[in-house]
A and B are shown apart, each in its own frame.
Chain A
Amino acid sequence: MDFEYFTQLFFGGLTRGSIYALIALGYTMVYGIIELINFAHGEIYMIGAFTGLIISSVLTMMGMPTLAVIILAGMAAIIYSCAYGYTMEKIAYKPLRNAPRLSALISAIGMSLFLQNYVLLAQTSDFLPFPSLVPEFKFWEPYSHILTTPELMILSTTVFVMILLTFLIKFTKIGKAMRATSQDKIMASLLGINVDQVISATFVVGSATAAIGGILIASHIGQINFYMGFIAGIKAFVAAVLGGIGSIPGAVLGSFVLGWTESFFTGYISSDYEDVFAFIFLVVILIFRPSGILGRSQTQKV
C-alpha cells in the first residue's frame, strides 16, 4: 500500500471532518436544547460564506492589506451568520415552541428553502470564485504535499474553536445555563434562567461556528453557490447523528468518522457515489444505533 497516498487521504478526511464538525456543532447544540433539527442550519453556513466573499471583495477593491481583509471579512461573516441565526429562531421557531414537532420541522424546511432562494435571487445562481484567503507558509513547505496549508489552517482553526467552545460551555455562566436548559427547560426557567435568551444564544453560537466552517471551506474549495449549504448541512447532520445528536463531543467524533470514511471510500473505491455514501451511512446508523456513538438511548417515559 502506498503510504503517502494513505496519509493524504487520512489528512483529507481529517480536514473534511473538521468542516463537518464546525457545522455539526450547531445542529447538535440546537437539538440538545429545543429538540429541533434545524434544517436551515446549512443555509447559515452558506450565508457566512457569501458574506465573507462579498465583504472581502469590497475591502480588497478598496485597497486594504490582505491581513486586514481576512480579519474583517471573517468577522463580518461571523457577525452576519449570528444575526441570521438569531433572527431565524425568532421568526420561524419561537412561535412554534409549543406546537407539535412536525410543525417546527416543516417550518425549518421552509426557512431553508427561503434562505437559499433569497441568496439566489439577491445574488446569483452561478458559482462564484472565492479567493484563497490563506497564504502559503514558508516553514510548512516540506510537508505541504501531505497536508496543504489551507488544510493545516482548517485543522488548527477547528481545534481552536473546539477549545473555545468547550471553555464556553463548561465554565461560563451562559454555558451552564445552556446545559441546565438542555436537561430540563421548565426547571431551568423556575431557577431564574431566561430560557428564551439561552435558546437565542445557542443559535448564535452554532451560527458562529458554521460561519467559520463556511469561510474555511469556501477558501479551500475556491468557489461557492447558494446551494452549498444543503449538502454540507445534510452531511453535518449525519455526523451529528452518528456521534449521538445532542452531544458535543459526539458531533466532533462523528464528523471525523464521516470525514475519514468518505475520504477513504472515494480514495480507494469510487468517487461517483460520494454523496450516496453519506446517506447510506445515515440510514444504517439510524437503524442499528439510533442513539449514535456517544449518545444516550432515550426511553420514553410512560
Chain B
Amino acid sequence: MSVRHISLRSDNMKPILEVKNMTMDFGGLRAIDSVDLSIEKGQIVALIGPNGAGKTTFFNCITGIYTPTSGDIYISPNGESDKQERINGLKPNIVTRKGLARTFQNIRLFTSMTVLENVMIGCHAVTKVGIMGAIFRGIKTKTEERFIVEKSYSILEKIGLAKYVDELAVNLPYGAQRRLEIARALATNPFLLLLDEPAAGMNPQETMELDELILRIRNTEGISILLIEHDMKLVMSLSEKIYVVDYGRKIAEGTPEEIRHNSVVIKAYLGEEIGEECDA
C-alpha cells in the first residue's frame, strides 16, 4: 500500500484544483449542491456516488461544458500559492489549454479518424500553426507537424496502443477505446486528468491493466488524477482520497479506509454492497 500512495504535500503549497462551494442548477433542479473538493499535486482522488448523484455534472462544470450557478473553481498547476487562477465559466477549450484534460463516460472518439489522428487532435491544445502556416508550410509548420506525429506515437506506445496506430478508432475493442481516450487526453499536456468511469464495460483483466496504467501516468508523468468510478476495487486500490456524493451533496470525504467504514456512505449505496466488495 505504501508504495502506491505517495504524498507530495508540503505546507506552503496550494491544491492544484480547489472547488469551493460549487452549485449547479438546471431550472428548478439542483444537480450539485455546494460541493467542496481539493486535489493536491500528485494525488489520485476518486469521486464516487450512486447513479445520478451528479458526478458527471461535476466534471462538466469543472471542464467548462457547464458554467456553475455559484461557487468557485481554482486551479494552480504547480501548486504554487501565488499562481492560483479562477476558471469558472471559461470555455471548455480554454480549460483544456490550462491543463485540465478529461475523458468521457460514453466514449466520444473521433469516429472517422485513425487512432493516431485521434491523439494528434489532442495535440491541438499545445500547438499553434494557423491558416497561413498551413498554406505556406514553412519550416516551423513542418517541425510542428513532425512534433505532433512523434508525440502522438510515443503516447500511444506508452499507453500500449501502438499496434493499432492506423486503425480507425471505432474498430478498436472497447477497452482499447477507453484507453485511447486517455491517450488523447494526455496529448493535451494536462497537470490534472479527469477520468469519467474509465473502467466501465471493461473485463477484470482490462481493469487490472487500467489500474496499472493510471498509477504509471501519475508516477512517471507526475499528472494528478481525479476519477469517477463505480468499480470499488479499482477506486479503493488507487485513490488516496475519496469524495462521496449523493443527490448532488457531498456526504463524505476521506481515505479509502475511512470511506469503507463510513455508515452514511454505506447507507447511500443501499446496504452492505460496498463493504462486501471491498473486503473481497
Provide the main secondary structure of the chain A interface: loop
| B71 CB to nearest chain A CB (Å) | 19
Q: Which residues of B contact A (CB under 8 A)?
A: 26, 56, 60, 65, 104
Complex Cα distance, B60 from A302, in Å, reads: 8
A297 to chain B, nearest CB (A): 10
Residues on B with C-beta less than 8 A from A299 are 26
How far is B196's CA from A302's CA once the two chains are assembled, in angstroms?
11
Q: 5 tightest A-B contacts by CB?
A: A302-B60, A302-B65, A302-B104, A302-B56, A299-B26
Q: Which residues of A contact B65 (CB under 8 A)?
A: 302
Residue of A nearest to B196 (CB): A302
Q: How far is the CA of A299 from the CA of B25 in the complex (A)?
A: 13
Interface residue ranges of A279-302 to B (CB < 8 Å):
299, 302
Instruction: Please report the C-alpha to C-alpha distance between residue A299 and residue B60 in the assembled complex, in whole angstroms.
Output: 12
B56 to A, closest residue via Cβ:
A302
Chain B residues, CB < 8 A from A302: 56, 60, 65, 104
Residues of A within 8 A of B104 (CB): 302
Q: Is the interface of B mostly helix, strand, loop or mixed?
A: mixed
Chain A residues in the interface with B (C-beta under 8 A): 299, 302
Chain B residue at minimal CB-CB distance from A296:
B27
Q: How far, in whole Å, are A302 and B65 apart by their CA atoms in the complex?
A: 9
Residue of B nearest to A300 (CB): B65
**Closest B-chain residue to A301, C-beta based?**
B106
Question: What are 5 A-B contacts defined by CB distance under 8 Å?
Answer: A299-B26, A302-B56, A302-B60, A302-B65, A302-B104
Kindly provide the distance from the CB of A186 to the nearest chain B CB, expressed in whole angstroms.
Answer: 15
Question: Measured between alpha carbons, how far is A299 from B56 in the docked complex, in Å?
Answer: 14
- Looking at the assembled complex, report how far the CB atom of A102 sits from the nearest CB atom of chain B, in whole angstroms: 13
Chain A residue numbers with a CB within 8 Å of B26 are 299
A294 to chain B, nearest CB (A): 16
Please name all residues of chain A whose beta carbon is closer than 8 Å to the beta carbon of B60 when the two chains form the complex.
302
Q: Within the complex, what minimum Cβ distance (angstroms) separates B241 from chain A? A: 25
Complex Cα gap A302–B108 (Å): 9
Q: State the CA gap A299–B65 with chains docked (Å).
A: 10
Minimum CB–CB distance from B114 to chain A (whole Å) comes to 19
> Which residues of chain A are near B56, meaning CB under 8 Å?
302
CA A302 to CA B59, docked complex, whole Å? 10
Cα distance, A299 to B31, chains bound together (Å): 14
In angstroms, Cα B65 to Cα A52, docked, is 52
Question: Shortest distance in angstroms between A290's beta carbon and chain B's nearest beta carbon?
Answer: 17
Query: In whole angstroms, what is the CA distance A104 to B117 when docked?
Result: 28
Cα distance A236–B65 in the bound complex, in angstroms:
34
Residue in chain A with minimal CB distance to B108: A302
Give, as a whole number of angstroms, the nearest-CB distance from B168 to chain A.
Answer: 16
How many angstroms from the CA of A302 to the CA of B56 in the assembled complex? 8
A100 to chain B, nearest CB (A): 10
Within the complex, what minimum Cβ distance (angstroms) separates A98 from chain B? 13
Distance to closest chain A CB from B59 (angstroms):
8
CB proximity of B69 to chain A, nearest CB, Å: 14
Min C-beta distance of B126 to chain A, whole Å: 23
Closest-by-CB residue of A relative to B65 is: A302
State the CA gap A299–B24 with chains docked (Å).
14
CB of A265 to closest CB in B, whole Å: 35
Closest to A297 in B: B27
Q: How far is the CA of A120 from the CA of B127 in the complex (A)?
A: 54
CB proximity of B205 to chain A, nearest CB, Å: 29
CA distance A299 to B26 in the complex (A): 10
CA distance A299 to B67 in the complex (A): 12
Give the shortest distance, in Å, between B194 (CB) and chain A (any CB): 12
A302 to B63, CA, bound (A): 12
User: Separation in Å of the B136 CB from the closest CB of chain A?
Assistant: 31
The minimal Cβ–Cβ distance linking B144 to chain A, given in whole angstroms, is: 30
CB distance from B221 to the nearest CB of A (A): 26
Residue of A nearest to B63 (CB): A302
For residue B130, give the distance in angstroms from its CB to the closest CB of chain A: 26
Return the chain A residue nearest B104 by Cβ: A302
A296 to B56, CA, bound (A): 22
How close is B182's CB to chain A, nearest CB, in angstroms? 17
Measured in the bound complex, the distance between the Cα atoms of B66 and A299 in whole Å is 10
**Complex alpha-carbon distance, A302 and B61, angstroms:** 11
Give the CA-CA distance A215 to B99 in the complex, in Å: 62
A291 → chain B closest CB, angstroms: 13
CB distance from A295 to the nearest CB of B (A): 14
Complex Cα distance, B143 from A301, in Å, reads 38
**How far apart are A136's CB and chain B's nearest CB, in angstroms?**
52
Closest to B26 in A: A299
